[in-house]
Amino acid sequence: MSTYSAKAADIEKKWVLIDAKGLVVGRLASIVALRLRGKHKPTYTPHVDDGDNVIIVNAEKIVLTGRKREQKVYHHHTGYIGGIKERTARSIMEGRFPERIVEKAVERMLPRGPLGRKQLGNLRVYPGTEHPHEAQKPEKLDLAAMNRKNSRSA
């Protein structure tokens, strides 16, 4: 008996559509990261990108639990001396790109390195209900029905 190792030619990638309306960010991100890595498949191989392509719609309608909307702070550095900037989750949600909160949450749950960056490329996040991937025939994944804690009213 030898350990199975998936090859790039053996991999079948599916397209999965998730409606993020009313879902808790961290719970959504952990399930999406699991799908992007391919850990839900019995053929999971750590060094191969065998995860699915994930489409998230309604990213602007996600829910942060507790007081995270006002208290959670996202930092970035401009590259200049003393150039650390910070924004609250509320200012990002009310800004031009509210889907970035979901993208960051998933990105930080994936491994750092070339493989993690490739897997993050299989994620598409849209703030509204429209997406240009109807031709791929994505199957809907209902995260709210998986666990009652996955969804919360705003």
Q: What is the amino acid identity at position 86?
A: E
Give residue 142's pLDDT band: very low, low, confident or very high (50, 70, 90).
Answer: very high
Average pLDDT, stretch 115-136?
Answer: 97
Average pLDDT, stretch 51-55?
Answer: 97
Contacts of 41 (CB under 8 A, 6+ apart): 50
Per-residue model confidence as pLDDT tens digits over 20-31:
999 999 999 999
How many CA within 13 A on the CB side of residue 141?
22
Query: Distance from first CA to last CA of the chain, Å, rounded?
Result: 52
Mean pLDDT estimate for the chain? 95
* Predicted structure pTM score: 0.93
151 - beta bridge partners? 23
Contacts of 6 (CB under 8 A, 6+ apart): 43, 44, 45, 48, 50
